[in-house]
Structure 1
Amino acid sequence: MGRLVVVSNRVADPRKTAAGGLAVALGEVLNDSGGLWFGWSGKLVEEPVGTETQMHVHHAGPVTLATVDLTREDYDAYYVGYSNGVLWPVFHYRLDLADFDAGYIEGYRRVNQMFARRLLAMLQPDDVIWVQDYHLIPLAAELRSLGCTQRIGYFLHIPLPPPLILAAIPGHDWLMKGLCAYDLVGFQSNADLDHFCRYIQDEAHAQPAGEGRWRVFNRFIHAAAFPIGIDVGEFRALTAAPEAQEMYQRMSREYSRRKLLVGVDRLDYSKGLPQRMRAFRELLARYPETRQSATLIQIASPSREDVSAYTDILHELESLCGSINGNYGELDWMPVRYMHRTVARARLPGLYRASRVALVTPLRDGMNLVCKEFIAAQNPEDPGVLVLSRFAGAAEQLKEALLVNPYDSEGTAAAIHLALQMPLEERRERHKALLATIRRTDVHWWCDSFLDLLGQAEAEESGTPWLRL
């Protein structure tokens, strides 16, 4: 395989551990090939729409990091408007929150065209291009229209909804045709893969060509599921590091008479935080023995707080937490400790290890790596229990977790109660199986598996040039 070129909305320096496991895993492959990572700089400039903004190029060891600035208008349309005002809610099944009427699609297309022009000038003939996530769905089609013939793969980190929900997006046919310009399209789960295959069959009359290949729009594409993982070894090492150990010791002391439950999420309507609080309230109401013995620590990191939907859920969550503490709290016990801020990644493993139960209950999630981090952080001799939404992509893999419907408060409360009372031997057996799964399909497996299949994919065009969408 030639040089790897990664394209994403934001670029991270893979040498910095704060960048996270994904950046480190990509960084290893980029290092090996002397690769290029291209994306938005994170900077906004006050220039007219359509102006060729500044390119920034620097090196992180053998890796070239290339970024471009965005104008305020492009950012508002491409990122805030279309990516997060249309695609994010629809792909998470929230048609009611999508802003279809604002005309953001032109800005989304304009920025993808600009990215394609700027990237094309940096490409080498044998490059292999890997595009990441929903911000850049049409990038391959724009590159093809400029004459790019290199292999291009794409991975969607968020869910892909069923065809009827996709069809609610004005211009959905344009968007999905853009996905078919890639040589390999990867999804988090088999459910997402099935939605894609059904869509291209029903809407684009794709023909199966065997072994995950399809003939559609006069070309062949591959499609497959690649559930993303974490670097288990790195996270277990982080658990043994001083900051995590200090957190574990402090939590163990402070909650020596309690059973600790933990939730760690971005503040987002897809995470099911109000539903989680209602389930915890139901736990306290239905199982009196949990009062004064169970404490939930809920971390909800700030996210897009200038958007009204996020402000609404923040107020709802604060109201629920206050109500639970007011109705059930005692002078020496607060049922919910809610924090609307980010906790340093180095400290989180200690909090996970001190917790008897993790609540990972999104209404919809592409994968959710918190559940895998919780598993990796546990003491195998006395592990905690994972309560996991069946609507998280991770539920396809993590069958030994207690799977719940987050819309069912009573059912979720019953599962939490079961987790709090689970015998040690059963906890050990479940954890052993879960740990084996996340070790087998870690982030390195994800990266290698995708690139191996992309390397095998044939970029066939059947003699027909790709037409601009």
Structure 2
Amino acid sequence: MSRLIVVSNRVSAPTDPSAGSAGGLAMALSAALRKYDGLWFGWSGNTTPVWKPEAQIEDRAGVTVALVDLEPQDVDEYYNGYANKTLWPLFHHRVDLSAYERSFGEGYERTNDRFAEALAPLIQPDDLIWIHDYHMIPLARDLRRRGIKNRIGFFLHTPWPVRQLLVTLPYHRRLVESLFDFDLLGFHTREWLDLFRDYVASEPGIHGRLLPNDALMAFGKTVQTGVFPIGIDVDAFVEARNSALGIRTYDRMAASAAFRSMIVGVDRLDYSKGLEQRLLGYEQFLKDKPEQRGKVFLLQVTPLSRDDVDAYQDIRSRLDSLAGHVNGTYGDVDWQPVRYLNRTYRRDQLAGIYRAARVGLVTPLRDGMNLVAKEYVAAQDPEDPGVLILSRFAGAAEEMTEALLINPFSREEISDALSRALAMPLAERKDRWQALMQVVRDSDVALWRDMFVATLQAIPTGGAKPVPEV
């Protein structure tokens, strides 16, 4: 096979492939890069006073990585600005939080062009290039301008917004047009792909056409699209559950529960995760079921993120206040209804926490996939599994239909689902878990990776393809 080049905003190749803290995506991509003698390119996370296009090459546990530093202005405008203050909220239907500042867009275009400047000299003629996520939508266009003819694929890890919201973005057409310099566009779900297709086919002035087999034609080019639902490294997660630390964490959680039923939520701090709605729904449950007070508790693990973005500071303050309100209203001398933690745990620790939880509560308001739902299922004891409650607005809901699917905007639905989950008989819990576990195995991250790479490799030619004659 050709060499594989993975491109992402940050390079997450683990320094130790056996590290329990390494994410499943990083492990899967790292394994592919070792197998195919590949390269992982991205921002180092560091800043430099003056831009230098020469990438720093190093080895991380057998993976070759190429890193570039960015100027502080690039970080402010490209990363903190356009990526996290403009595109992220827009793609999650939070137009009220999107900042449409011209300097952000200029920084986004400039920084992607700089990435292309640094990456182009590293590309060999037969390389496959796989670019990840909304940070780097224009990168294929900028590589094509430098004469790169290789096959280039793109995978979007977030949802795609509905057309009526996308058009609030200044220069939305230019952003979408740049996607047609890729050979393959990948989405988590059919819903996200259909929304993209709707923009191309319906936006006035584009005159896009839907071709057979999910190909699209617009802007004088054609591009192949596809649905590639991402998953977790199932075997590695089960191994983490059964590891010494996983078992020890499970024992600690079981002991700390003191014969109470634990409900667990694990999400990084983000307004898209429905954390406020989750706490309000849990509070509604305590109101609706007073007999459950003292018998359950919610463990909410929420690592902090993007502290330099105002919206994240605001939600942290609101969650601190709401968790304190629930504990102050319903707590007792020997019972705290909410355990709210702002810290990060290793994968094997999380596996032990998930296993100890009677209910996994996953309530994003909009999410590309949501791997916590799949991790929770993989961590369960087959003989006594817990119950997954899942927002219907997570991409995972398209596959995981045996979860208790809820509308996270309705606190009553969250309350009812908690009541049902905690009362569910063992036979039903087993049946649901077995069906969900099959879904988790069928969408393993390695299968996702290999399917995308194989599809990209099978595309006949790289480079911008002209519109076929009719």
Superposition TM-score, scaled by structure 1 size = 0.96
Partner deviation per Cα, 1:57-92 (whole Å, 9 max, x = no partner): 012465321010001011111100000010000000
Which residue does 2:40 correspond to in 1?
A: 37
Query: How far is the alpha carbon of 1:319 from its aligned partner?
Result: 1.2
Give the AA of the match of 1:438. V
Structure 2 counterpart of 1:467 = none
Once the two structures are superposed, residues 386-419 of structure 1 have per-residue CA deviations (whole angstroms, 9 ceiling, x without a partner) of 0000011100010000001110001111011100
1:347 match: secondary structure: helix
Describe the SS at the equivalent of 1:386. Answer: strand
- In structure 1, the partner of 2:30 is 27
* Mapping for residues 7-156 of structure 1, pairs under 5 Å: 7-14=7-14, 15-16=16-17, 17=19, 18-47=21-50, 51-52=51-52, 54-60=54-60, 63-156=63-156
**Matched-pair contact (CA < 8 Å) for 1:113–1:139:** yes
Asked if 1:335 corresponds to 2:337, the answer is yes
| Cα deviation 1:412-434 (Å, max 9, x = unaligned) | 11011100100000000000000
Cα distance in structure 2, aligned partners of 1:227 and 1:332: 44
Are 1:214 and 2:216 counterparts? Answer: yes
Matches of 2:30 and 2:236, distance apart in 1:
14
| 3-state DSSP of counterpart to 2:99 | coil
Distance 1:423 1:186, change over 3 A: same
| Within-5 A mapping of 1:441-460 | 441-458=443-460, 459=462
Could you tell me whether the CA contact under 8 Å between 1:355 and 1:384 is conserved in 2? yes
1:456 CA drift (Å): 1.6
1:344 Cα deviation from its structure 2 partner: 2.7
Determine if the alignment matches structure 1 residue 243 to structure 2 residue 228.
no
Rounded to whole Å, the distance in 2 between the matches of 1:291 and 1:12 is: 42
Structure 1 spans left out of the alignment, 5+ residues? 465-469
Q: Distance in 1 between matches of 2:233 and 2:416?
A: 32
Q: Given residue 392 of structure 2, which amino acid in structure 1 is its aligned partner?
A: R
1:339, distance to aligned residue in structure 2 (A): 0.9
**Match runs of 1:274-423 below 5 Å:** 274-423=276-425
Whole-angstrom CA distance in 1 between matches of 2:252 and 2:11: 35
Describe the SS at the equivalent of 1:439.
helix
Q: How far apart are the structure 2 equivalents of 1:461 and 1:97?
A: 34
How far off its partner does 1:443 sit?
0.1
Q: What are the superposed Cα offsets for residues 438-467 of structure 1, whole Å, 9 maximum, x if unpaired?
A: 101110110011111111223364569xxx
Letter of the structure 1 residue corresponding to residue 45 of structure 2: G
User: How many Å separate the matches in 2 of 1:195 and 1:34?
Assistant: 36
In structure 2, relative to structure 1, the CA distance for the partners of 1:462 and 1:99 (3 Å cut) is: closer
Residues 460 and 79 from structure 1, CA distance in 2 versus in 1: closer, same or farther, beyond 3 angstroms?
closer
Alignment CA distance shift 1:128-1:362 (3 Å): same
Contact 2:265/2:299, CA 8 A, preserved across alignment: yes
* Percent of residue pairs identical: 47
State the SS of the aligned residue for 1:262. Answer: strand
Q: Which residue of 2 aligns with 1:170?
A: 170
Deviation of the 1:216 alpha carbon: 2.0
- Could you tell me whether the CA contact under 8 Å between 1:228 and 1:441 is conserved in 2? yes
Query: 1: distance between equivalents of 2:64 and 2:306?
Result: 30
1:460, 1:370 → 2: CA distance?
36
Aligned partners of 1:75 and 1:84: how far apart in 2? Answer: 11
Opposite residue 451 of structure 2, the aligned amino acid is S
Partners in 2 of 1:193 and 1:42 — Cα distance?
Answer: 31
Distance 2:324 2:265 in 1: 17
Which secondary structure state, in structure 2, belongs to the residue aligned with residue 129 of structure 1?
Answer: strand
Aligned mates of 1:274, 1:461 — CA distance in 2: 44
Q: CA–CA distance in 1 between the matches of 2:196 and 2:456?
A: 18
Change (3 A) 1:320 1:63: closer
1:87-117, Cα deviation, whole Å (9 max, x unpaired): 0000000000011035211111111101111
Report SS of the residue matched to 1:407.
Answer: coil
Does the CA contact (< 8 Å) of 2:180 and 2:464 recur in 1? no
Relative to the length of structure 2, the TM-score reads 0.96
Q: What amino acid is aligned across from residue 183 of structure 2 in structure 1?
A: D
The answer to whether the 8 A contact 2:250-2:355 is kept is yes
C-alpha distance in structure 1 between counterparts of 2:62 and 2:324, whole Å? 51
In structure 2, C-alpha distance between the alignment counterparts of 1:343 and 1:294, rounded to whole Å: 22
Report the Cα offset of residue 24 of structure 1.
1.3
For 2:437 and 2:374, the matched residues in 1 are separated by: 8
CA contact (8 A) 2:223 2:465 kept: no
Deviations 1:28-70 (Å, cap 9, x if unpaired)? Answer: 22112111111111111123xxx32552101246532101000
8 A Cα contact 1:77 1:104, kept in partner: yes
CA shift at 1:222, angstroms? 0.7
Q: Distance in 2 between matches of 1:315 and 1:391?
A: 25
RMSD: 1.4
Counterpart CA distance in 2 for 1:251 and 1:160 is 38
Between the two proteins, the alignment pairs up a number of residues equal to 461
Quickly say closer, same or farther: Cα 1:152–1:38, change in 2 above 3 A. same
Contact between 1:218 and 1:461, CA under 8 Å: does it hold in 2?
Answer: no
Question: Which piece of structure 1 moves more, 192-201 or 62-71?
Answer: 62-71
> SS in structure 1 opposite 2:64?
strand
1:264-322 deviation digits (Å, cap 9, x = unpaired): 11111001111100000000001112111110011111111222211111111111111
Cα pair 1:54 1:69 within 8 Å, conserved: no
* Whole-angstrom CA distance in 2 between matches of 1:229 and 1:140: 25
